[in-house]
Amino acid sequence: MTRAAVPGLPSPHPIGDLLPALFADDDFAQRFTAGLDTVLAPVFSTLDNLPAYLQPRLAPPDFLDWLASWVAVETDPAWPLEVRRAVVGRAVELHRWRGTRRGLAERLRLVLGAGAEIVDGGGAAWSTTAGAALPPAPSGELLVRAWPLRGAALDEDQVLAVVRAGCPVHLTCRVEILPGPPGLPGRTEG
């Protein structure tokens, strides 16, 4: 998409109207400035609409990817445009929760329309008893059970890609795709 040389785009400030009265009736001066108006009209249009370029829900699709780089969020061109807009718009909130169960579950819901149950192998333990046995070492594995919220089946590779992007680097990730939320009647545990 280009915003240069838009055919028929009028200039909001024609240069010919701003010339001194001496050139108002000069045909050459009017034609010359009309050519400049054609070149400057997209610039004026872009500047007049600059606030819209900085709002993810209004920005042109090609500008949205650049805007995503400003807020340090990665979007996949294969995602629908509305999903990319939502991820860029909520980037600050998603960064705040990055590396947590809440952040990972929210990213899965937002990007893939998936519910998630996240089982984290890490954690902390304490005891009020002096000399108590130490807890076992964490497994270092993150298990994500995901299911579709909007009816369409989930692709395991897509779920794994989203999980790996939001998973702390010291954990390995494993994904299970479920037909529905865990614990539903009639669902067999596998």
Give domain status of residue 59, yes or no. no
pLDDT at residue 190 in the model: 42
Q: Whose CA is closest to 24, among 36, 37, 35, 33? A: 33
**In which domain, by residue range, is 144 found?**
100-126+137-180
pLDDT at residue 105 in the model: 94
Give domain status of residue 174, yes or no. yes
Q: Whose CA is closest to 33, among 15, 17, 46, 45? A: 15
Give domain status of residue 111, yes or no. yes
**Residues in contact with 79: Cβ distance below 8 Å, sequence separation at least 6, in sequence order:** 87, 111
Calpha distance 29→153 (Å, rounded): 64
The amino acid occupying position 56 is: P
Give domain status of residue 4, yes or no. no
Give domain status of residue 173, yes or no. yes
CATH number at residue 169: 3.30.300
Q: How many domains does the chain have?
A: 1
Residue found under tokens 């009020």: 128
- The neighbouring-strand residues paired with 141 are 172
Residue found under tokens 């989203």: 162
The amino acid occupying position 9 is: L
Give domain status of residue 175, yes or no. yes
Tokens at 180, concatenated:
């529905």
pLDDT at residue 87 in the model: 92
Ordered per-residue pLDDT tens for the chain, 190 residues: 566 666 778 888 889 898 898 888 899 999 999 888 888 888 888 888 889 889 999 998 888 989 999 998 888 888 899 999 999 999 999 889 988 889 999 999 999 999 999 988 666 677 788 888 877 776 778 899 999 998 788 999 999 999 988 887 778 888 999 988 887 654 444 4
Give domain status of residue 154, yes or no. yes
Q: How far is CA 58 from CA 42, 61, 112, 163, 170, in A?
A: 18, 9, 22, 28, 38
* Cβ count near 75 (within 10 Å): 20
DSSP codes, 74-136 = ---TTS-HHHHHHHHHTHHHHHHTTTSHHHHHHHHHHHH-EEEEEEES------SSTTPPPPP
Calpha distance 49→46 (Å, rounded): 5
**Assessment of whether the complete model's pTM goes beyond 0.75:** no
Give domain status of residue 151, yes or no. yes
Calpha distance 99→96 (Å, rounded): 9
